[in-house]
Amino acid sequence: MDFKLDQNSPVPLHAQIEAYLRSLIVQEDYRSGKLFLPKEVTLAKKLGVSRNTVRQAVNTLVQEQLIERKKGVGTKVLNKKIATRLDNWISFTKEMDKLGIEVVNYLVKISFETAPDEVYEALSVSNSKKIWKLEKVRGSKEAKYLYSVSYFHPRVGITGEEDFITPLYELLETEHDTIVATSKERLSAIKADQELVSTLDLTPEVPILKRERLVCDPGERPVEFNIVFYNTDYFTYDIEIKREF
């Protein structure tokens, strides 16, 4: 450890230690869980301060949910998860903007192909027709959060020339006069197959949240059948249910 406290600095000692710990938790070995943060008593001895001074710095990071302490194990970095809500329909890009996270598009691919039978059934389209398929892998600079596959009803008029970096439902409205109004969803937990492991850079034991969504226009006509696979190391769903009286 090459960190030393500046006893002559106007910055309080606990704040200096906090800054040092912040510099550690962004390093890959700590983020991945390979390394644990120094123990409070060890850090206090090496820096020549009381354990309470170190604890003050550690508590700040714990309260911010950046690290967690486990008795008998140590203090490790928390992979902060993105919490999204089922009762608040908002685009992924806008949701990340609200959280101050810059969205990275690792993959945006549009193709015209034959779809699985469940897609034709959901969209009420003859399975003799090819339909447009949009694939996206999205996340932050740190990690891939999700793999999304969308199939569109031919009525929408997708050409394959659209700029699919644009938030999808804005694009459908402005370029194809298609307004989406309802979303019928199903959630399930699955084990990632080798393709998902490779696509999202997962470790094989990470569980996957799968969301199937049928999106309809104001007339309840199908517009899109969407399947999203979420990396649960980074993503959760929050649900709020109100009792009716």
pLDDT at residue 137 tops 50: yes
The pLDDT tens digits of the residues spanning 172-206 come to 999 999 988 888 889 898 988 899 999 999 887 77
Look up residue 50 and give its two tokens: 């009381």
* Residue 41 φ then ψ, to 5°: -65, -40
Half-sphere exposure for 221 (CA within 13 Å, toward CB):
9
- Mean pLDDT in residue range 91-120: 84
- Per-residue model confidence (pLDDT) at position 116: 94
- 51 and 137: one domain? no
CATH number (domain holding residue 50): 1.10.10.10
- 63 and 89: one domain? no
pLDDT at residue 222 tops 90: yes
Tell me which H or E stretch contains 29. helix 28-31
The pLDDT tens digits of the residues spanning 27-53 come to 877 777 778 888 888 888 888 999 999
- 28 and 140: one domain? no
- 35 and 116: one domain? no
Last residue of a domain, one of 54, 77, 100: 77
Closest CA relative to residue 95, chosen from 142, 156, 163, 146: 146
Q: What distance lies between CA 181 and its chain's CA centroid?
A: 24
The pLDDT tens digits of the residues spanning 205-221 come to 778 999 999 999 988 89
Cα–Cα distances in angstroms (integers) from residue 103 to residues 32, 37, 167, 223, 226, in the given order: 21, 29, 12, 25, 19
- Mean pLDDT in residue range 11-37: 84
* Total number of domains in the chain: 2
- 53 and 139: one domain? no
- 90 and 170: one domain? yes
CATH number (domain holding residue 124): 3.40.1410.10
- 65 and 98: one domain? no
Mean residue pLDDT across the chain: 85
- 176 and 226: one domain? yes
The neighbour count for residue 113, using CB atoms within 10 Å, is: 9
pLDDT at residue 83 tops 60: no
Determine, yes or no, domain membership for 46: yes
Determine, yes or no, domain membership for 244: no
**Can you give the residue range of the structural domain that contains 103?**
82-238
Cα separation, 152 vs 222, in Å, equals 8
- 163 and 86: one domain? yes
Whether pTM exceeds 0.75: no
The neighbour count for residue 16, using CB atoms within 10 Å, is: 20
- 178 and 100: one domain? yes
- 100 and 184: one domain? yes
Tokens 């469940």 correspond to: 118
Closest CA relative to residue 54, chosen from 5, 7, 100, 13: 13
Alpha helices in the chain (DSSP H): 13-25, 28-31, 40-47, 51-63, 92-98, 117-123, 168-176, 194-199
Cβ proximity of 76 and 68 under 8 Å: yes
Cα separation, 98 vs 239, in Å, equals 18
- Per-residue model confidence (pLDDT) at position 86: 44
Look up residue 130 and give its two tokens: 């090819």
- 35 and 97: one domain? no
Cα–Cα distances in angstroms (integers) from residue 26 to residues 44, 51, 236, in the given order: 21, 23, 21
